Chains A and B, each alone.
Chain A
Amino acid sequence: MITRIMSLGRRGCDLLEALGRAGIFVAQSAVGVPSREGWHLWVRQMHFVGVLSLAIVLVSGLFIGMVLALQGYTLLVDFGAEQALGQMVALSLLRELAPVVAALLFAGRAGSALTAEIGLMKATEQLSSMEMIGVDPLRRVVAPRLWAGFVTLPLLTIGFSVVGIYGGYLVGVEWLGVFEGSYWGNMQSSVEFVGDVGNGLIKSLVFAVVVTWIAVFQGYDLVPTSEGISRATTRTVVYSSLAVLGLDFVLTAVMFGGLS
């Protein structure tokens, strides 16, 4: 019994210590805001984590918008409310699906790659050698990746929403014959810029910070062996997904659930 309590306490302490390390890590890295000299590093990382994630995010957005319209139509048409399809597709995407699914895809596509890349740099002593050259790897390697993630995920989320709404239009209007005026008109009258678009963007910014933080920290803190890299990459995807889904509930409760 005592041993169990002790091991529980030890785990608690380990968890707190890891959180503390992660906090110090992100604070030390995030102060490395892209400067004039570091601009090209930042742009390169934006390309790596953002532009290269564009295809998977946009294609997923298109299909999710199309499926939403298809499912929504079959439900709404029973009540003769298929004119509200645009409103349904837009609100589902802007408030929930775009921030959450884009963040999950980002964690799988860019987050795991960030962990593996930084982890491999650690395993091959590239980070140590950078330190010995007198260059702080937190500023040179971690900060550009961190800031690239912070900026690109909200942009990807916007792309996801736009393409998803267009996907809904393709299925709803072009295929199933919903009146085009009501698809766009209902959407325009019901979507609020601050309440829906703004809150969705806040969500995606929070997810961007959390997912990128988890990804770069897992890479920087891993045990530098092949097994360590594989475990850390898995952890990035698992922790990021759980954090995104958990935080989504909290944020939704605050933003739309009347808790605010």
Chain B
Amino acid sequence: MSDTPFVVVENLYFSRGDTEIFRGVDLSIPRGKITAIMGPSGTGKTTLLKLIGGQLTPDSGRVLIGGEDVHSQSRRALFAMRRRMGMLFQSGALFSDLSVFENVAFPLRVHTDLPEAMIRDLVLMKLEAVGLRGARELMPAELSGGMARRVALARAMALDPELILYDEPFVGQDPISMGVLVQLIKRLNEALGLTSIVVSHDIKETLTIADYVYVIADGKVMAHGTPRNLDVDQDPRVSQFVHGEPDGPVPFHYPAADFHTDILDAGGRR
């Protein structure tokens, strides 16, 4: 593992309305590795990515990328900083009025003055890397979910970023697309020397590619370590999550009154 972390999250607090989402989160993301951020649904994993990408501002705490504080940048500087990162959204978030080719060409067109021939070559190279060179003329509405995510991955890589943020890359994928995505993330990270942050709750797939894992629950980092360490972790909460047990310290039931009382003493109430 590299000595200097590329992304550092320090004592991060964030709340939405009255709901506290993070209460002092600390992360250290090493350069050139795949770091997974895992945790049950609703723990704010996507929110954490948006905080790292500067789309949300924390109540307190800092996010440093390459030593620069994301949230103390001016709007212009922040947009410049984002050119060094790519983000893969859960839905793919392709621009629906542009073809696959134009979607991947978009970052190149707005941020570079490259001639058209070179843009074409670069786009075809990126599409070849995700196996969709043949789909370049299709519109986003004509793609399957897995294909859309691969196109989005090609677009996120278009400017050769140093950091890629993956938001739930495996959700809703069939086993074949899932396998393809797992391989792609791993291969691209190795080939391009990227730093990757994968937010996911798909334990099996994520643990196979991650170099380091943070588990987040109740607004804090509950555990962290290599996938092997987490697999043998004795903490019942970590164990429940990593082994996918339905009930345990994280309850199956949403907090409610006693079941029998609820059924028998309803008196017409809902």
Contact = CB atoms under 8 A, between A and B. Distances in A.
A129 B111 contact: no
A132 B86 contact: yes
Interface string A94-137: 00000000000000000000000000010011101111111110
Contacts of A128: 50, 55, 89, 93
Nearest to B109: A37
A164 B83 CA distance: 52
A206 B168 CA distance: 46
Contact of A125 (B75, B80, B93, B106): B93
Interface in B98-112: 106-107, 110-111
Nearest to A139: B79
B83 to A, nearest CB: 4
B42 to A, nearest CB: 17
Interface residues of A, number: 14
Contact size range, B: 20 to 34
Contact of A131 (B82, B90, B94): B82
**Interface of chain A, helix or strand or loop or mixed?**
helix
Contacts of A130: 95
A95 B75 CA distance: 43
A131 B110 CA distance: 12
B83 A129 contact: no
Contacts of B96: 121, 124, 126
B87 interface: yes
Nearest to A130: B95
B30 interface: no
A134 B94 CA distance: 15
B36 interface: no
A129 B95 CA distance: 9
Contacts of B240: none
A93 to B, nearest CB: 37
Contact of B82 (A124, A125, A132): A132
Interface in B55-92: 55, 75, 79-83, 85-87, 89-91
A129 B79 contact: no
Contacts of A125: 89-91, 93
Contacts of A136: 75, 79
A134 B93 contact: no
Contact of A135 (B79, B86, B89): B79
A121 to B, nearest CB: 8
Given A125-B91, A126-B93, A132 B80 contact: no
B21 to A, nearest CB: 18
A46 to B, nearest CB: 16
B82 A133 contact: yes
B146 interface: no
Contacts of A132: 53, 55, 82, 85-87, 165
A99 to B, nearest CB: 32
A129 B75 contact: no
B79 A134 contact: yes
A131 B53 CA distance: 9
A132 B53 CA distance: 7
Contacts of A129: 87, 89, 93-95, 152
Chain B CB within 10 Å, residue with most, of A121, A126, A132, A136: A132
Nearest to B158: A133
Nearest to B49: A132
Nearest to B165: A132
Contacts of A126: 93-96
A133 B105 CA distance: 12
Given A126-B95, A126-B96, A128-B55, A134 B111 contact: yes
Nearest to B85: A132
B53 A135 contact: no
A129 B86 CA distance: 9
Interface in B131-167: 152, 155, 165
Interface in B227-263: none
Interface in A21-41: none
Chain B CB within 10 Å, residue with most, of A124, A128, A129, A130: A129
Interface in A19-77: none
Interface of A: 121, 124-126, 128-136, 140
Given A126-B95, A135-B79, A135-B110, 9 more contacts: A125-B89, A128-B55, A128-B89, A129-B87, A131-B79, A131-B82, A132-B87, A134-B107, A136-B79
Interface of B: 50, 53, 55, 75, 79-83, 85-87, 89-91, 93-96, 106-107, 110-111, 152, 155, 165
18 contacts: A121-B96, A124-B91, A124-B93, A124-B96, A125-B89, A126-B94, A128-B55, A128-B89, A129-B94, A129-B95, A130-B95, A132-B53, A132-B55, A132-B85, A133-B107, A134-B110, A134-B111, A136-B75
